[in-house]
Amino acid sequence: MLDKNTIANDFKAIQHDIVEKLTALDGGALFETEIWERPGGGGGESKVIQNGALIEKGGVNFSAVYGKLPDAVKKSFKTDQEDFFATGVSIVLHPHNPWVPIIHMNIRYFEMQGNGNETLRWFGGGIDVTPHYVIEDDAKGFHQFIKNTCDRSDPNFYPKFKTWADDYFYIKHREETRGIGGIFYDRLTPESTGISWEQIFEFSKNVGNSFVPIYTQLVKNTREKHFTLEEKQWQFQRRSRYAEFNLVYDSGTKFGLQTDGRIESILMSMPPMASWVYDYKALPDSAEAKTMALLKKGIDWTGS
Amino acid sequence: MLDKNTIANDFKAIQHDIVEKLTALDGGALFETEIWERPGGGGGESKVIQNGALIEKGGVNFSAVYGKLPDAVKKSFKTDQEDFFATGVSIVLHPHNPWVPIIHMNIRYFEMQGNGNETLRWFGGGIDVTPHYVIEDDAKGFHQFIKNTCDRSDPNFYPKFKTWADDYFYIKHREETRGIGGIFYDRLTPESTGISWEQIFEFSKNVGNSFVPIYTQLVKNTREKHFTLEEKQWQFQRRSRYAEFNLVYDSGTKFGLQTDGRIESILMSMPPMASWVYDYKALPDSAEAKTMALLKKGIDWTGS
């Protein structure tokens, strides 16, 4: 049986590897490290970059926390178990250039133990991309890459987790998806997947290790692209939708707020600058209108 | 007995009066009007100003909606009644100048009718101020004015509703109040107040009519004040807290999202530009640090 400390250690190694490679990719600023402890148990290591050459604001966080489950979480998990352990790596990067997408990746492991009950445990995670302007070839390339990563573990994973991402990263009150999706999965166990704990852990690490090659490819053709003030303003507007999703719907943010997590780490995903314009309507046939038309569920990016 | 149409009409008249006077006060832009219908019943009139001389973005909305209560709302109201009617005026103004505060005012009336049950009804509302920089004399003047308005109806109202505002406009995860508070009240009935429906309605209209003199006074000494880029950046950061409060905690926003209200009207309160800076710490003894020290509950602004 997998040990939770092994999982936490491997996750932390993935965080460090990503930070090292992102530092090289950015080339303009260093990540600042903050090691923090959670009053109720455990802690984490936040790595944040601001005003880099590529990244305007981004965070690569690791945490391993434990303690008593707050009542609100018990209720939403429909459990009366008391003790929990959670570890994960979470990334959100907001680039300067509006042609570079926002990217998010998360891998996590959760377990609960109760009074004489068996231990409940599962893996969750995902990776998804939120372009300010959707570039269709880049969207296809991203989905194909993450599909290949999934296929190495189980050919059923990509279609299932891609649909899950479409449903999860959905801004209901706007009737639009947050971006072009990707994969999202939760509560993976041998029972729910048909593969072993070790294989699920391997899959989880593969998702984590897919982050750098995916992001490197996405920024390659876009980071030096010229952009106008109007395109930057559009980026601010798209970021406001990102803020809405994270504050209104995101489970990780809610869990963090409910468990008294470190607030600056929980909200490191929030955009460096965002704008809400009243009742904005993109001009017909504009790049903005084309992007809006692609923020919907069920697009088959891999042509499968 | 008060008729709901009388209430809605008087509220709408207050909206129109405020818009007329704010247009004169701003002097640089006009409000745009959008009349909208709610698919489930009723509708409203949104009045929004953008890029005025004083106001960067603001809305003065009226709505009168009715229909079936969504399950989520029934649950939070702890009722099994089916039909509701709600009318109100809601204002949020974001000024250009960081020395001018954000202001919010809301007056509302709500009723529910069920299968053979009696009608439940109540008034709610309030007015509160969110300075980017707290100016203590202005904070005192505002609290004294709204205390006087309350005292005309009941000397117990101000202390009770001031405390209610401190508790309501609290950003728990930041451990700070949204601003310097004001008054907040809900579920006012003859039983809960000891005054008649007519007197409660009168109080509600007095709160609505206090808006223009209060805001006029607040902008008088601040709208022409010189500000720096650093002060504008601080305004963006304070606005991000305003966005957090509205999306995470505000009941009106939640009710609007749950009842499929018109999304642009519900979220007209969102700031035109907001910034999340990672782990910002105000410099000791700075104006920013002084403001942060005053964003707490229980400050006695009227020296009572």
Q: Convert the pLDDT of each residue in B46-79 to its tens digit.
A: 999 999 999 999 999 999 999 988 777 777 767 7
For testing contact with chain A, the best of B276, B277, B280 (most A CBs within 10 A): B276
Residue B302 falls within a domain, yes or no?
A: no
Smallest Cα distance from A222 to chain B, Å: 24
Nearest to A215 by CA among A87, A47, A58: A58
* Alpha carbon distance A126, A186 (integer Å): 9
Is some CB atom of chain B closer than 8 A to the CB atom of A249?
no
| A229 contact B CB<8A | no
**The pLDDT value given to residue B190:** 96
Q: How much is the pLDDT for B304?
A: 61
Query: Does A84 or A17 have the greater pLDDT score?
Result: A17
Q: For position B66, what pLDDT does the model report?
A: 92
pLDDT at A52: 98
Active site residues of A: 104
- The residue-averaged pLDDT of A176-188 equals 98
The CATH number linked to B83 is 3.40.1500.10
Touching A: B residues 174-213, CB under 8 Å:
174
Specify the pLDDT at position A63.
Answer: 94
Nearest CA in chain B to A31: B278
Q: Is the Cβ pair B248, A247 closer than 8 Å? A: yes
Phi/psi class of residue A113: alpha, beta or left (left: φ > 0; alpha: ψ in -120 to 50)? beta
Sheet holding A181-188, edge to edge: A32-37, A42-50, A55-68, A83-95, A102-113, A120-130, A181-188
Query: What percent of chain B lies above the pLDDT cut of 70?
Result: 97
Q: Is B34 touching A (CB cutoff 8 A)?
A: yes
Q: Find the radius of gyration of the CA atoms of chain B.
A: 19
pLDDT at B71: 78
What is the predicted pLDDT for the residue at A116?
66
Average pLDDT over residues B165-172: 97
Whether residue B1 has pLDDT greater than 80: no
Confidence of residue A57 (pLDDT cuts 50, 70, 90): very high
Share of chain B above pLDDT 90, in %: 84
pLDDT at B156: 97
**A303 within domain boundaries:** no
Mean pLDDT of B238-250: 96
Tell me which of A81-85, A106-110, A227-231 is least confident.
A81-85
pLDDT value of residue A251: 87
Mean predicted lDDT score pLDDT of chain B? 94
Q: Pick the more confident residue, B262 or A100.
A: A100
Token code pair at residue B1: 């007995």
Report if residue A255 sits inside a domain.
yes
* Averaged pLDDT score across all residues of chain A: 94
Mutate to test the interface with B, among A174, A269, A278 (most CBs of B within 10 A): A278
pTM above 0.80, yes or no: yes
Number of domains forming the structure of chain B: 1
**From A240, A270, A278, residue closest to B50, measured CB to CB:** A278
B133 occurs within a structural domain:
yes
Per-window interface: B 106-135 vs A, CB < 8 A: none
The pLDDT of residue A243: 97
Q: Which residues pair with B60 in a beta bridge?
A: B47, B91
Checking if the pLDDT of B154 tops 90, the result is yes
**Full domain range(s) for residue B266:** 4-293
What is the spatial distance between Cα B53 and Cα B232, in angstroms, rounded to a whole number?
16
A271–chain B Cβ distance below 8 A for any pair: yes
- Best of B38, B61, B91, B173 to substitute, by most chain A Cβ atoms within 10 angstroms, is B173
Overall residue count recorded for chain B in this entry: 304
Determine, yes or no, domain membership for A65: yes
pLDDT at position B116 is 66
- Verify whether the Cβ–Cβ distance B257 to A48 is below 8 Å: no
A276 interfacial to chain B (CB closer than 8 Å): yes
Q: Please, are residues A50 and A29 in contact by the beta-carbon 8 Å criterion?
A: yes
Work out the pLDDT band at A115, boundaries 50, 70, 90: low
B243 in reach of chain A (CB within 8 A) = yes
pLDDT of residue A25: 98
Q: What is the mean pLDDT of residues A119-127?
A: 95
3-state SS, chain B, equals CCCHHHHHHHHHHHHHHHHHHHHHHHCCCCCEEEEEECCCCEEEEEEEEECCCCEEEEEEEEEEEEEECCHHHHHHHCCCCCEEEEEEEEEEEEECCCCCCEEEEEEEEEEEECCCCCCEEEEEEEEEEECCCCCHHHHHHHHHHHHHHHHCCCCCHHHHHHHHHHHHCEEHHHCEECCCEEEEEEEECHHHHCCCHHHHHHHHHHHHHHHHHHHHHHHHCCCCCCCCHHHHHHHHHHHHHHHHHHHHCCHHHHHHHHCCCCHHHHHHHCCCCECCCCCCCCCCCCHHHHHHHCCCCCCCCCCC
Answer whether B173 sits within 8 Å of A257, measured CB to CB: yes
Residue B119 has pLDDT above 90, yes or no: no
As a whole number, mean pLDDT of residues A189-213 equals 97
Per the domain annotation, does B301 fall within a domain? no
**Exposed, middle or buried by CB within 10 Å (0-12, 13-18, 19+), for B81?**
middle
Q: Give B262's contacts in chain A (Cβ within 8 Å).
A: none
Reported as a pLDDT band with limits 50, 70 and 90, residue A75 is confident
Positive or negative, the CA dihedral B244, B267, B119, B107 is positive
Q: What is the DSSP-derived secondary structure letter of residue A98? A: T
Tell me what pLDDT residue A121 has: 94
Beta strand A120-130 pairing with B170-171: unpaired
B181 band by pLDDT with thresholds 50, 70 and 90 = very high
User: Which whole number is the average pLDDT over B220-225?
Assistant: 95
Contact B274 A279 (CB under 8 A): no
Cα(A197)–Cα(A200) distance, integer angstroms = 5
Instruction: Inform me whether the C-beta atom of residue B252 falls under 8 Å from chain A C-beta atoms.
Output: no
Alpha-carbon gap, residue B43 to B66, rounded angstroms:
8
Please tell me the distance from the alpha carbon of residue A21 to that of residue B278, in angstroms, as a whole number. 21
Shortest distance between the Cα of A173 and any Cα of chain B, in A, equals 6
Please check the confidence at residue A74 and state whether its pLDDT lies above 80.
no
DSSP class of residue A267 equals G
The average pLDDT across B251-260 equals: 81
* The predicted structure's pLDDT at residue A172: 94
For residue B25, the one-letter residue type is L
Rounded CA separation B298/B303 (Å): 12
Q: What's the CA gap between B102 and B15, in Å, rounded?
A: 18
A267 interfaces chain B, CB cutoff of 8 Å:
yes
In a domain, A302, yes or no: no
Q: What is the mean pLDDT of residues B114-136?
A: 90
Mean pLDDT, range A11-17, rounded to an integer: 98
User: Is pLDDT at B295 greater than 90 in this prediction?
Assistant: yes
Closest partner residue to B267 (CB to CB) among A57, A236, A276 is A276
Residue A68 lies in a domain: yes
Which pLDDT score, from 0 to 100, does residue B114 have?
67
Confidence of residue B40 (pLDDT cuts 50, 70, 90): confident
A257 vs B contacts (CB less than 8 Å): 172-173, 248
A304 has a pLDDT exceeding 70: no
